[in-house]
């Protein structure tokens, strides 16, 4: 049986602006397997959220356009489906949790109104049954007094409570794939840990696949099974989490890990990657990381690197790998 629930093949996305064409994603290959949590990491602006929205076909056209590639979900190309079928897949088969829950919840309706509407739309159940499902889901995300929460408005809840509502909402329809786009960024450390624990427990119990987007490598180490590293719109390394942390092979991945503070090292200053992230209107030729790479040679400037398997399920896109 095919273990890949989602398979992205050679995906490219463009944004047409007054300044020029932004090549936000360029030839992205990625897969999410059944029942796994895949972490997608990279600096702000590298294309992580664009990739997430592309999967659900939420790229606004104009100015954006998916210009090439395929997104196979259960063997079906999402980019070839009629929009009516795509709307059916959203929420039922693929759900998404966004960074800031206040932008996802309508401030003029109660939590109960919004949750019940989604459940009734996707599951075709009565209002009474929808209410029961909402209470059950809020209880599963460890929300105290779920009935009272349903009567509240979003502004009456804390950030952590709102994010629990979003987790309950997106999992209420039992999707096969959950896309979590930096869902704990706006939360403090203690609440972040609670939300991640709930998310991990629920998705693993249901065998839900998760694409977890973050820039926090500590969260990846704690939560994910595999990790994909993205730089300037391209995937540069994919590996099981343990292999990536123990033996990073791409120079960008090594730079990211070196910049993480460690209690075991006595360093006066944090390490940093020299240079700046390139603009995607006119990105560097060849390997997009070569202007910041100490080991870059002539092939790096002229040709895009092909993927090299350096260990079991460990792929690196770098000319320096032999």
pTM: 0.90
131: tokens are 């209410």
pLDDT band at 270 (very low <50, low <70, confident <90, very high): low
CA-nearest of 163, 118, 174 to 141 is 163
pLDDT at 67: 92
Instruction: Give the integer Cα–Cα distance in Å for 1 and 233.
Output: 31
pLDDT (average), residues 236-241? 96
Question: Using an 8 Å Cβ cutoff, are 134 and 165 in contact?
Answer: no
CA dihedral 81, 84, 85, 91 (to 10 degrees): 120
- Tens of pLDDT along 22-50? 999 999 999 999 999 999 998 888 899 99
The pLDDT tens digits of the residues spanning 273-316 come to 888 888 899 888 899 999 998 888 889 999 999 989 998 999 99
Say if residue 74's pLDDT is above 60.
Answer: yes
Tell me what pLDDT residue 296 has: 85
Calculate the dihedral angle through the C-alpha atoms of 72, 225, 45, 235, rounding to the nearest 10 degrees: -60
State the Cα–Cα distance between residues 74 and 176, nearest whole angstrom.
10
Residue 140 confidence (pLDDT) above 90: no
pLDDT, tens only, 77-97: 999 999 999 999 988 899 988
Note the pLDDT of residue 1: 44
Are 252 and 273 contacting, i.e. CB atoms less than 8 angstroms apart? yes
What's the CA gap between 117 and 109, in Å, rounded?
11
Where do the domains of the chain lie, and which CATH numbers do they carry? Answer: 4-88+225-316 (3.40.50.300)
Query: What is the chain's mean pLDDT, rounded?
Result: 88
Question: pLDDT digit string (tens) for 3-19?
Answer: 899 999 999 999 999 99
Average pLDDT value for residue range 229-233: 94
Residue 2 has pLDDT above 70, yes or no: no
């Amino acid at each position: 049986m095919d273990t890949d629930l989602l398979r992205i093949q050679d995906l490219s996305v463009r944004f047409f602006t007054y300044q020029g064409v932004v090549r936000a994603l360029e030839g992205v290959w990625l897969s999410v397997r059944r029942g796994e949590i895949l972490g997608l990491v990279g600096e702000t602006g590298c294309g992580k959220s664009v990739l997430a929205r592309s999967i659900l076909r939420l790229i606004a056209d104009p100015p954006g356009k998916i210009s090439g590639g395929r997104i196979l979900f259960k063997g079906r190309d999402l980019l070839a489906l009629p929009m009516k079928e795509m709307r059916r897949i959203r929420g039922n088969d693929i759900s998404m949790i966004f960074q800031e829950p206040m932008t996802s919840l309508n401030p003029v309706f109660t939590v109960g109104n919004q949750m019940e509407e989604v459940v009734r739309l996707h599951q075709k159940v009565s209002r009474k049954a929808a209410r029961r499902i909402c209470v059950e889901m809020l209880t599963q995300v460890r929300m105290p007094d779920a009935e009272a929460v349903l009567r509240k408005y979003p502004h009456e809840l804390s950030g952590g409570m709102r994010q629990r509502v979003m987790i309950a909402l997106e999992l209420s329809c039992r999707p096969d794939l959950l896309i979590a786009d930096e869902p704990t960024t706006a939360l403090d450390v203690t609440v972040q840990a609670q939300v991640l624990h709930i998310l991990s427990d629920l998705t693993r119990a249901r065998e839900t696949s998760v694409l977890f987007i973050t820039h926090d490598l500590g969260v990846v180490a704690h939560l994910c099974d595999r990790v994909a590293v993205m730089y300037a719109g391209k995937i540069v390394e994919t590996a099981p989490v343990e292999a990536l942390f123990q033996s990073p092979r791409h120079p960008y991945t090594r730079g990211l890990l070196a910049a993480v503070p460690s209690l075991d090292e006595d360093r006066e200053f944090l390490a940093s990657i020299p240079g700046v992230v390139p603009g995607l209107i006119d990105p560097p030729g060849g390997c997009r990381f070569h202007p910041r790479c100490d080991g870059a040679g002539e092939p790096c400037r002229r040709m895009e690197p092909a993927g090299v398997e350096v260990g079991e399920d460990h792929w690196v896109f770098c000319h320096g790998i032999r």
